[in-house]
């Protein structure tokens, strides 16, 4: 089966750094995605990792370790608008995405 | 670029009726589109993969006769929920495969409420 785990909820303070972890066990692996989703809206693409290592894009970075089945999304200099759900998704083949349950991040002043 | 639209954004229908949801790729051609369902506080679950000009491939447990998918052109896919029941109430999201094969661009979603 497919299993993708993320913490359900996290809280952080404006200006801080937060790391959202994702562990996965899937039948195939063609890359790992992170999406941001505000309530009632569609997910928006944040990052894509297919090789081990860190990908940095502005305030957001994503890390992947395929041997450990592990990824994290790092958000720096948190802003209030970063309050959202963050979805980890694995492409298992033929572009199918299997999503984790999502992590709801609440940023407080 | 890579914008996907959905229509309607919200729909309320009575139990037993059918509802059609449209998914359009506005500035790119999507040979493959995906339909997802998301229940409150849950993640997205893939329902089916839709390829232009061919029959959709449904995920295990998704009734193909209840959720009719048509992908008649490179920019339009439709999902029809037939004989809707209250348990079909959910957030339906489509996505289109972008110019780079690994990318999916999501529509804004359609909130379906069946009364």
pLDDT at A62: 98
How many CB atoms neighbour CB A25 within 10 A?
Answer: 12
From edge to edge, which strands make up the β-sheet containing A60-65? A3-5, A18-25, A70-75, A60-65, A53-57
Q: How many CA atoms lie within 13 A of A60 on its CB side?
A: 17
Pull the structure tokens for residue B76.
Answer: 């339009």
Q: Tell me the chain A residues in contact with residue B46 when contact means C-beta distances shorter than 8 Å.
A: 96-98
Answer whether B58's CB lies under 8 Å from B67's CB: yes
Cβ <8 Å between B44 and A43: yes
Asked if B13 and B88 touch (Cβ cutoff 8 Å), the reply is: no
The per-residue pLDDT for B28 is: 87
- Mean pLDDT confidence for A83-89: 96
Of A39-48, A77-86, B19-28, the one with minimum mean pLDDT is A39-48
Task: Confirm or reject contact between A92 and chain B (CB < 8 A).
Answer: no
Residues of A in contact with B93 (CB under 8 A): 42-43
Buried b (16+ CB within 10 A) or exposed e, B65-75: eebbbebeebb
| Interface contact flag, A42 B103, Cβ < 8 Å | no
Tens-digit pLDDT profile for residues A47-58: 999 999 999 999
DSSP, residue by residue, A22-67:
EEEE-S--S-EEEEEE-TTS--EEEEEE-SSEEEEETTEEEEEETT
Which of A37, A95, A100, A104 should one mutate to test binding to chain B, selecting the residue with the greatest count of B CBs within 10 A?
A95
Rounded alpha-carbon distances, angstroms, from residue A87 to A8, A103, B106: 10, 7, 13
| Amino acid B1: pLDDT | 63
pLDDT under 50 in chain B at which residues? Answer: none
Record: contact A48-B111, CB cut-off 8 A: no
Q: What confidence tier does A96 reach under pLDDT thresholds 50, 70, 90?
A: confident
pLDDT at A12: 97
Q: Which two tokens stand for residue A57?
A: 């894009």
Is the minimum CB–CB distance between A3 and chain B shorter than 8 Å?
no
Residues of chain B neighbouring A48 (CB-CB closer than 8 A): 102-103
Q: Is the pLDDT of residue A40 over 90?
A: no
pLDDT at A41 over 90: no
- Between CA A109 and CA B19 the distance in angstroms is 43
């Amino acid at each position: 089966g497919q299993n993708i785990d993320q913490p359900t909820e996290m809280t952080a303070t404006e200006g801080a750094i937060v790391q959202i972890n994702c562990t996965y066990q899937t039948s195939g692996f063609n890359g790992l995605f992170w999406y941001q989703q505000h309530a009632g809206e569609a997910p928006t693409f944040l990052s894509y990792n297919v090789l081990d290592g860190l990908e940095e894009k502005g305030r957001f970075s994503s890390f992947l370790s395929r041997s450990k089945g592990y990824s994290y999304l790092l958000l720096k200099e948190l802003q209030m608008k970063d309050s959202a759900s963050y979805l980890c998704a694995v492409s298992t083949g033929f572009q199918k995405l299997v999503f984790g349950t999502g992590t709801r991040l609440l940023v407080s002043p | 670029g890579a914008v996907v639209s959905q229509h309607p954004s919200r729909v309320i229908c009575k139990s037993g009726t059918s509802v059609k949801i449209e998914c359009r790729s506005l500035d790119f051609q999507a040979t493959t589109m995906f339909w997802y369902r998301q229940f409150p506080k849950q993640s997205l679950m893939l329902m089916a993969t839709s390829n232009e000009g061919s029959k959709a491939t449904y995920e295990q447990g998704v009734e193909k006769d209840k959720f009719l998918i048509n992908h008649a052109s490179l920019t339009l896919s439709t999902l029809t929920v037939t004989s809707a029941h209250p348990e079909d109430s959910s957030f339906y999201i489509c996505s289109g495969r972008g110019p780079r094969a690994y990318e999916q661009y999501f529509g804004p979603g359609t909130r379906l409420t069946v009364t």
